[in-house]
Structure 1
């Protein structure tokens, strides 16, 4: 009898400390509401890419590919029974900012950042970071309604042949110390930080915007343009900026993307164009100043 009582108490305690199991939102319904399908990633995040293929942007006489620096995105993760947390980065022209913001605010979706990522771009683009909580389909409906105040393409495009990346990617991988991937004619890296990152009480994995992003756009002859952002703690910001500047990589912005993140994170954006391997070595020297997951 005594053993049964102990076992029963242990079972009750286990239930008290067990993590609740929530039903995953219907991602197909989210895609239908948003007007654009996404990809469910291994970490459980449902991520939707919304490249601004409608924009023709140049910087230093270089035409910016959508996958290079014009990629709006939204990332959803389960945050309750069929509920979700959504975070994202919306690429907007200046005249689109206030109509989109008004629509988002009216639906309860928060604006967590609004700023430039690039300098001298023509036309100028701004980047609006957002966060929302609630029913996943209702969030998608609200986001769709807001994005209709922009010219963001919201229909899934027919599959196209992958664009070639005219770079020595093996050499770049070796220098960076990570393996990148080709997407939309651009060679991309997403490098997670070592710490667990949260926003409020929710984990925020790299796929929701907390990974260091590095993009190479080939320019021919082994040259490339680079852009992206370093995700840094306060004590890392200036050592990284120093390394970027010492390697002739322009720092174009320093700001937050979230409001209640732990640890507190800052985003350092950059731009340069030169020999791709030279640029990779400069980026690697800056990466060495950050606390990253081991590759």
Structure 2
């Protein structure tokens, strides 16, 4: 029996004040302040901060930025400004200098943790949050990241078709129950949770980092390295961990990203390197629990 898609549409409802805030924001100024163009999904403006400067390996796999080194910050209109959330990818030595800079300038640090085990060198991930003027907030983040080697220059990679995916993407999509996309040679899925997420009294769009993220990086002969995070409520965590482990998928981290989310969310990170279709079916077993 063909499995039905987990998610096909995501509707974002905005209150009038948020719409007004969106209209008043000059996003060209925000782009200029960070030195990048935003990817726009509905009302969310998201800026990618991939750590393409890092050479990270895990179990013999060289990690592409799209697999596990894709930092970002995103803005969603809320009230008289915008809600900002983000996930910064840092080296061990960068964690505290970046944290000091952010805290000194009014940006919350809501989590610091690993995503992977055995990675060399080990990347760390810092979740951030704030509310206010996007141009001012993005300037604070840019100044904090001056403590790191995060690249802001345009990529030297030629523009064109991304590297081909050498596993059966159609079978993987059927198993996962959603459509993916090729991002720099990594096949990525973003699947919203069925129920709306609140933070700070406002609904948080999936593009703000509260969707399930599932990434496949080809490793040859139909295999793929997989990582990402599946979003679970407290009662879903233990069944999810069991489902992943019983399907040969290693659980590498369990943590929160936010401080005031409702319902309270936990993010389960994972890793495996095996047949891509088999791993997709294993991930679907976990996704069925959280949906």
Counterpart of 1:135 in structure 2 is 133
1:140-162 Cα offsets, whole Å, 9 max, x none, are: 11011001111111133366222
Determine if the alignment matches structure 1 residue 163 to structure 2 residue 151. no
- The alpha-carbon deviation at position 94 of structure 1 amounts to 0.2
TM-score relative to the length of structure 1: 0.90
Report runs of 4+ in structure 1 exceeding 4 Å deviation. Answer: none
**Segment of structure 1 superposing worse, 156-165 or 189-198:** 156-165
Distance 1:241 1:98 in 2: 31
Determine if the alignment matches structure 1 residue 284 to structure 2 residue 272. no
- The alpha-carbon deviation at position 165 of structure 1 amounts to 1.4
State how 1:114-153 maps to structure 2 within 5 Å. Answer: 114-153=112-151
Distance 1:146 1:110 in 2: 12
- SS of the residue aligned with 1:273? strand
Counterpart of 1:259 in structure 2 is 259
Distance 1:93 1:23 in 2: 35
Gaps of 5+ in 2: 1-14
1:12-62 Cα offsets, whole Å, 9 max, x none, are: xxxxxx843523221111111112221121x21001111100000000011
Counterpart of 1:113 in structure 2 is 111
State how 1:25-36 maps to structure 2 within 5 Å. Answer: 25-36=25-36
Are 2:21 and 2:78, in contact at CA under 8 Å, matched by a contact in 1? no
Counterpart of 1:206 in structure 2 is 206
Higher Cα Rg: structure 1 or 2?
Answer: 1
RMSD of aligned Cα (Å) = 1.2
Task: Answer 1 or 2: higher relative contact order, Cα 8 Å, separation at least 6.
Answer: 2
Gaps of 5+ in 1: 1-17
Distance 1:288 1:85 in 2: 30
Distance 2:31 2:224 in 1: 34
Counterpart of 1:54 in structure 2 is 53
Counterpart of 1:197 in structure 2 is 197
Counterpart of 1:219 in structure 2 is 219
TM-score relative to the length of structure 2: 0.91
Counterpart of 2:230 in structure 1 is 230
- The alpha-carbon deviation at position 177 of structure 1 amounts to 1.1
Counterpart of 2:239 in structure 1 is 239
Counterpart of 1:65 in structure 2 is 64
Counterpart of 1:176 in structure 2 is 176
